[in-house]
Amino acid sequence: MNHSSKVLVTGAGAICGAGKEPEEIWQAVREGRTAFAPIARWDTSNFPPLASEIVDVDARTLVEDRKVHKLTQRSDLLGLYAAARAIDASNMVAYRECLDAVAAAAFNDRTGVYVGSGGGTYEISYDFFPLLTTAAGDLRTFGTELTSTVNPMWLLRTLPNNVLCHVGIRYGFKGANACITNHATSGTLAIAEAAAAVRAGEVDRAVAVGHHAGLEPQAGLYFQALGLLGVDAVRPFDVTRNGSLHGEGAAALVLEDEAAACSRDASVLGEFLGSGCVSEGEGLLSVRADGNGLARAMALALDDAGIRAAEVGMVVAHGNGTRASDASEAAAIRRIFGSGAPPVTAFKWVFGHLTAASGSMDAVLALLSLRHGVVPGIGTLRELDPACAPLPVSTAPQSPRSDVALVLSRGFAGMNAALLLRASTDGRG
């Protein structure tokens, strides 16, 4: 497909169990420093799966405005932090400050915010437990004692769109926006929709954020009961893989129209080339064994970008380490690339599955991999599952075949999404 103007990446930010900056996280991936440990926040004596928590920093210190702390949840703070880092890196606020009032207002109206959100936690509802105890099953008492027991701002804290709201309030951006709550494709779709808004000329630039902090006992229990969790490691495509492990984090990109970026002399990290998104339309939790949905998403992304599969330099697989997803993902990659697939890697084995933020994080790290000219190896891979072979994965670093990365995300509801990104190695578009 022909697109008249390029969509450039002019800023990035990220945080997860492996670090607080994109480069720090990428180095952890590159060096194979996995960031898993027993969960520190609760008693895990009955819950063996490890997770990748952000332990070395109090999430509240990530967002200066203390009013915001009372109106948000942990995931929101991570998202606000990643967005702020990306916005800072893009230098757009400093640029706006040099504009006159009319031009600055136009800048704000032409800056969008697109968020992929985990959509909430179970724990936020536990604020009602003391009231439920008081009410002892009597709804009338539940009603009469409500205001003396529960924080008046409770509902606002639960909103899935808090990051969208508070990025807006903090920076004054007023352009097109969305809050996507579509499980593990949320962050990916935030990038795709932000890029679409830039391409369509609705905005000159947009911040695309994905955030998720869902490490809580109730959620862990469900995932364990459903057989989706491993225990001590995520081993994408390995013959012994037995499930995923969760992480928490957020990542953000600033996507900008080429002309707008040039006019403010922005430094350029890369380019959004295209995206594809489809559903398999079958089970909520299941995936098709043949990888049909993911293959279609990849084909759509290639078509959208107007490039051939042979031009792709590396693939960042979803690689969540579950039996069914990895095998069908390998099948989908073979279907698109035949025997000529470029180096394939995945990142969840280092900092866990970030769910709504996973596509955002993988996009940030894909750009860094291309910039460094290194496709990081998968350190936990011991023996490639014959059901996934042939697949050009390795424990050792590989070299990308070109400056283009294909990033894959899959989520509940049979969702499959693919992004194509090109890295800029010279800081120019």
The site that binds other proteins (CB under 8 A) totals a number of residues, namely: 92
Tell whether residue 55 is a contact of other proteins (CB under 8 A). no
| Residue 335 touches other proteins, criterion: CB under 8 A | no
Q: Is 207 exposed, middle or buried (0-12, 13-18, 19+ CB in 10 A)?
A: buried
Among the listed ranges 57-65, 157-165, 308-316, 375-383, the one in contact with other proteins (CB under 8 A) is 157-165
Tokens of 51: 């997770």
Report whether 186 contacts 409 (CB < 8 A): no
Using the rule CB under 8 A, which residue among 12, 180, 269, 405 binds other proteins? 180
**CA Rg value for the chain:** 21
Task: Please identify, using beta-carbon distances, which residue of 176 and 327 lies nearer to other proteins.
Answer: 176
Question: What SS3 class is residue 48?
Answer: coil
Report the site for other proteins in 197-226 (rule: CB under 8 A).
Answer: 200-202, 217-218, 220-222, 224-226
| Position among 21, 88, 109, 232 found at the interface with other proteins (CB under 8 A) | 109
What does the CA dihedral 278, 281, 286, 287 come to, rounded to 10 degrees?
A: -40
Among the candidate windows 95-103, 251-259, 332-340, 405-413, which touches other proteins by CB under 8 A? 405-413
Q: What's the rounded Cα separation, in Å, for the pair 286 and 296?
A: 17
Query: Applying CB under 8 A, which of residues 169, 231, 289, 310 lies at the interface with other proteins?
Result: 169
AA letter at 335: R
DSSP for 293-337, written as a single string: HHHHHHHHHHHHHT--GGG--EEE------HHHHHHHHHHHHHHH
Is 306 a binding residue for other proteins by CB under 8 A? The answer is: no
**Residues 260-289 within binding reach of other proteins (CB under 8 A):** 277-285
Amino acid in position 130: P
Distances (CA, A) of 316 to 8, 37, 376, 377: 20, 24, 10, 11
Stretch that binds other proteins, among 112-120, 246-254, 320-328, 380-388 (CB under 8 A): 112-120
- Closest distance to other proteins from the beta carbon of 356 (Å): 9
Of 151, 240, 395, 399, which lies in the binding site for other proteins, with binding defined by CB under 8 A? 151
Cα(83)–Cα(15) distance, integer angstroms: 10
DSSP 65-89: -HHHHHT--HHHHHHHHHHHHHHHH
- Pick between residue 250 and residue 314 the one whose CB is nearest to other proteins: 250
Q: Which two tokens stand for residue 129?
A: 């437990």
Q: Establish if 243 lies at the interface with other proteins (CB under 8 A).
A: no
- Closest approach, Cβ 163 to other proteins, in A, equals 9
Residue 197: Cβ within 10 Å count: 24
Q: Give the residue from 20, 50, 8 showing the smallest Cα distance to 250.
A: 20
Q: Is 101 in the site for other proteins (CB under 8 A)?
A: no
Identified binder of other proteins from the candidate list 98, 139, 308, 386, rule CB under 8 A: 139
Is 97 near other proteins (CB under 8 A)? Answer: no
| Separation of alpha carbons 3 and 274, rounded Å | 10
Which residues does 408 contact at the CB level (< 8 Å), separation at least 6?
A: 294, 297, 298, 315, 316, 317, 318, 329, 362, 416, 417, 418
Q: Which stretch binds other proteins (CB under 8 A): 83-91, 116-124, 265-273, 342-350?
A: 116-124
Among 61, 94, 122, 383, binds other proteins (CB under 8 A): 122
Which lies closer to other proteins via its Cβ, residue 8 or residue 184?
Answer: 184
The beta-strand segments (E) located in 119-216 are 177-180, 205-212
Query: Encoding tokens for residue 44?
Result: 């895990």
Quick check: 402 and 311 in contact, CB under 8 A? yes
Establish if 95 lies at the interface with other proteins (CB under 8 A). no
In the complex with other proteins, the residue whose CB is nearer, 176 or 341, is 176
Nearest approach, Cβ of residue 174 and other proteins (Å): 5
What's the min distance (Å) between Cβ of 180 and other proteins?
A: 6
Among 31, 55, 70, 129, binds other proteins (CB under 8 A): 129
Nearer to other proteins, 136 or 396 (CB): 136
Q: What does DSSP assign to residue 37?
A: B
Query: What single string gives the DSSP state of each residue in 108-144?
Result: HHTEEEEEEE----SGGGGGGHHHHHHHTT-HHHHHH
Of 57-76, which residues contact other proteins (CB under 8 A)? Answer: 71
Residue 38 interacts with other proteins (CB under 8 A)? no
CB of 244 to other proteins, least distance (A): 15
End-to-end CA distance of the chain: 19
Taking the least distance from each CB to other proteins, the nearer of 253 and 415 is 415
Among 11, 13, 79, 168, binds other proteins (CB under 8 A): 168
- Residue from 23, 93, 99, 141 touching other proteins (CB under 8 A): that is 141
Could you say whether residue 98 binds other proteins (CB under 8 A)? no
